[in-house]
Structure 1
Amino acid sequence: MIHAYIGLGSNLENPMAQLDCAISTLKNHDDLHNVRISSIYGSKPVGPQDQPDYINAVATFDTHLSPIDLLDLLQSIEQSQRRVRERHWGPRTLDLDLLLYGQETIALPRLTVPHPFMLERGFVIKPLSDLAPDMLLTNGNTVTEQLQQLDTSDLVFIKEE
């Protein structure tokens, strides 16, 4: 079994309902075990600012799925919730990003793990700290140490899962 972490985000079509649906799907999927969810936070969008604020969380679980099979599963969940890819960093009903897949480093055309931007995003590191504050990241920092280096002033606690 591999221990994986994914980021969840939404800013369209009732974002809380979108995250709740995705969380339910993850918790009830036969290939995902011991699913845990961070608290949920609100944040300003990355990229174009002409869109609603996001809500974000991180999920962790154990799986036998390969990285690509897991990516396919995440993208199928996004599609089932009407994800449309209109522009880079644009608004979305649901965004599920594979952040970490065990200790593996993956560089494929469809998938880069660890997620290339996770270390600089407070809306990823803060919820990750809810689940694994002492986990060592690829830059040598713990999640807590990385969080201390980020500006998280735009993060708003929404609810505990």
Structure 2
Amino acid sequence: MDKIRIENLEIFAKHGVFPEENFLGQKFVLSAVLHTDTRKAGLTDELSYSVHYGEVSHLIKKVVEENTWKLLETVAEATAKAILLSYPMVSQVDLTIKKPWAPIGLPLDTVSVEISRGWHTAYIALGSNMGDKEKYLNEAVEKLQQTSDCQVLKVSDFLVTAPYGGVEQDDFLNGALALKTLLTPQELLERLHEIEQEAHRERLIHWGPRTLDLDILLYDDLVLDTPDLIIPHVEMHLRDFVLIPLAQIAPWKRHPVLGLTVSQMLADLQAKQES
């Protein structure tokens, strides 16, 4: 990926843990590396195919000047988010914020915080088998779209499937969506749980009936195993009600552990079911 660099942008602002810092202010020095594809801009000499570094510089200045925070970490997060949301061609931003002569009672040149933030692609399974199933699924899609750190890219058709897991209950309506997000996997999980709770989801019976079920299937090519979140989803390759809608929107997405595409996993599963 190509890079556009903004080096040592000086901004006077009011950030710090001490009241006098928030009142008097001081100089901050920011540098940003914008990850973007400059190929078309280079071939056409058209600015519209690139990222206007002057506009980005003024956006950084606006965010840093017009807010007051205690921590450099907060300044960095807010600035990176503003850049990524404002410039779709930027896939990642590396940001460094330096604070010269920080008041720590010792001689130093600067303290600094450096972060890298960027867009990720996640695939989410949707399911419902209580009440107005289609309404619950459509509302979940809309709520993810309304989440400031998320953009819904594709949504599959919804299909009716038999319940999974041996619990007697109504048929499910299932689907899948592709999501562009700035959220970490854990933050995304928390957001999905919030949406489920807003649909009055109750976790009473394992594999039992539910108004709304939202699961992270894949997150980039991440392999993650924690007590509350496993990515890729541990049973996605065994569930046709997951693979059928996922194959509709991402047939060539490859499972980072099995090495198979979604289409290949679906074909293998259907072959086993027919044998």
TM-score (norm 2): 0.54
Query: Which has the greater radius of gyration?
Result: 2
Alpha-carbon contact 1:26-1:35 (below 8 Å) kept: no
CA root-mean-square deviation = 1.5
Partner of 1:157: none
Higher mean alpha-carbon deviation, 66-75 vs 131-140, is at 131-140
Equivalent residues of 2:236, 2:243 under 8 A apart: yes
Which residue is 2:261 aligned to?
Answer: 142
> Counterparts of 2:145 and 2:136 in 1: how far apart (Å)?
14
Deviations 1:123-157 (A, max 9, x none): 111111111111222312211111112239xxxxx
Between 45-54 and 63-72, report the one with greater CA deviation. 45-54
Q: Which residue of structure 2 lines up, in the alignment, with residue 127 of structure 1?
A: 245
Gaps of 5+ in 2: 1-118
1:17 aligns with 2:150: no
CA distance in 1 between partners of 2:259 and 2:190 (Å): 30
Structure-2 residue corresponding to 1:95: 213
Matched residue SS, 1:150: helix
2:163 paired residue number: 45
Aligned to 2:195: 77
User: What does residue 158 of structure 1 align with?
Assistant: none
State the distance in 1 between where 2:270 and 2:167 align: 18
Residue 126 of structure 2: aligned partner: 8
Q: Return the letter of the residue paired with 1:55.
A: L
Q: 1:28 maps to what in 2?
A: 146
Contact 1:18 1:94 in 2 (8 A): yes
Q: Is the helix fraction higher in 1 or 2?
A: 2
Contact 1:6/1:58, CA 8 A, preserved across alignment:
yes
Q: Helix, strand or coil for the counterpart of 1:70?
A: helix
* CA deviation vs aligned residue, 1:92-133 (integer Å, no higher than 9, x gap): 000000111111111111100000000110011111111111
Question: Of the candidates 106, 120, 125, which is equivalent to residue 224 of structure 2?
Answer: 106
Question: Counterparts of 1:62 and 1:134 in 2: how far apart (Å)?
Answer: 17
- Structure having greater relative contact order (Cα 8 Å, sep ≥ 6): 1
TM-score where L is the length of structure 1: 0.90
Contact map agreement 2:223 2:231 (CA 8 A) in 1:
yes
Structure 1 segments unaligned to the other structure (5+ residues): 153-161
User: Is residue 120–residue 181 contact of structure 2 (8 Å, CA) maintained in 1?
Assistant: yes
Amino acid at match of 1:143: V
Deviates more, 1:95-104 or 1:25-34: 25-34
SS in 1 for 2:148: coil
Task: Figure out how many residues of one structure are paired with residues of the other and give that number.
Answer: 153
What is the SS of the residue equivalent to 1:146? helix
Give yes or no for contact 1:9–1:54 (8 Å, CA) kept in 2: yes
On the 8 A contact 1:27/1:35 being kept in 2, the answer is no
Mapping 1:56-75, distance limit 5 Å: 56-75=174-193
